[in-house]
Amino acid sequence: MGAEAPVMRLRRPRWKDPRLLVGIVLVLASVLMGALLVSRLSATTPVLVARSAITPGDSLESADFVTVQMRLGEQAPKYVASPDAIPDGAVAATSVAPGELLPMSAVGQPADVTLRPVVIPVDSSVAESVRPGASVELWHTSEAGEDGSPAQATLLVSDAVVRRVDEGSSLAMRSMAVEVLVPADQLADVLEVLSQDERLDVIGVPGAHEVSP
């Protein structure tokens, strides 16, 4: 018979084997990192939520918000956590819708707001999208010319914000007034149209509710 092939015997791993120790360390590290990640994702943080619509220039008062606990993760620093984090004299720099978190970017000072309030009379009811805090457009419709030229509608302001909607109390004719915030550099155009008693329509922008100053 030929020579038998040598039989290889496996040795039991010893606790002092460096490879075994490295493997154990790697497993423990992965478990700890996973547990830490899950803990961070499940952790909640306090954040302010608006009770009602807030428009640019409005004072930010603690009564305007409710504090809730939410899972924001790495996004937490972008939002205001408590009323104590709001500086004295702070106002809204952008619109904040009801039920919306108060972002740090929406906290400013009066000098940061470059919008000016204007009251626009409206002869009939406006669309549901025209509500406090909503972004709207202002359209100017000129009267027909004496030479028979038709009336023309022109977009006067594309980024106004509704501050308040007032409904008239007259039973004979329903009249309304919409207070809007317009950019300061377009205020003169709006006032000129209003002084001429020409038609100025407030048109809601679907899907939009805030505008930066």
Structure tokens belonging to residue 8: 């290889």
**Element at 18 (helix H, strand E):** helix 18-42
Residue 75 in this model has a pLDDT that exceeds 70: yes
7 occurs within a structural domain = no
Task: Return the C-alpha torsion angle 212, 163, 126, 102, nearest 10.
Answer: 60
In this prediction, residue 123 carries a pLDDT of: 72
Mean pLDDT of 85-94: 93
Q: Is residue 144's pLDDT more than 90?
A: no
Residue 128 included in any domain: yes
For position 166, what pLDDT does the model report? 84
pTM of the model: 0.68
Domain boundary among 84, 110, 136: 110
Give the mean pLDDT of 68-95.
91
- Among 10, 11, 29, which Cα is nearest to 21's? 29
191 and 129 share one domain: yes
Q: How many structural domains are present in the chain?
A: 2
**Claim to verify: residue 86 and residue 123 sit in the same structural domain:** no
Q: What are the b/e assignments for 46-81, b being 16+ CB within 10 Å?
A: ebbbbeebbbbbbebeeebbeeeeeebeeeeeebbb
Q: Report if residue 74 sits inside a domain.
A: yes
* The pLDDT of residue 210 is above 60: no
Distance CA 101, CA 82 (A): 11
Does residue 68 lie within any of the structural domains? yes
Average pLDDT over residues 7-25: 61
pLDDT category at 151 given cuts 50, 70, 90 is confident
Q: What domain range is 126 assigned to?
A: 114-204
- Tell me what pLDDT residue 71 has: 85
DSSP letter string over 79-109? B--SGGGSPTT-EESS-B-TT-B-BGGGEE-
- Residue 82 belongs to some domain of the structure: yes
Sequence-separated (6 or more) residues with CB below 8 Å from residue 121: 175, 176, 177
- Identify the band that residue 172 occupies on the pLDDT scale cut at 50, 70 and 90: very low
CATH assignment at residue 68:
3.90.1210
| pLDDT confidence tier of residue 213, bands split at 50, 70 and 90 | very low
Say what percent of the chain tops pLDDT 70. Answer: 74
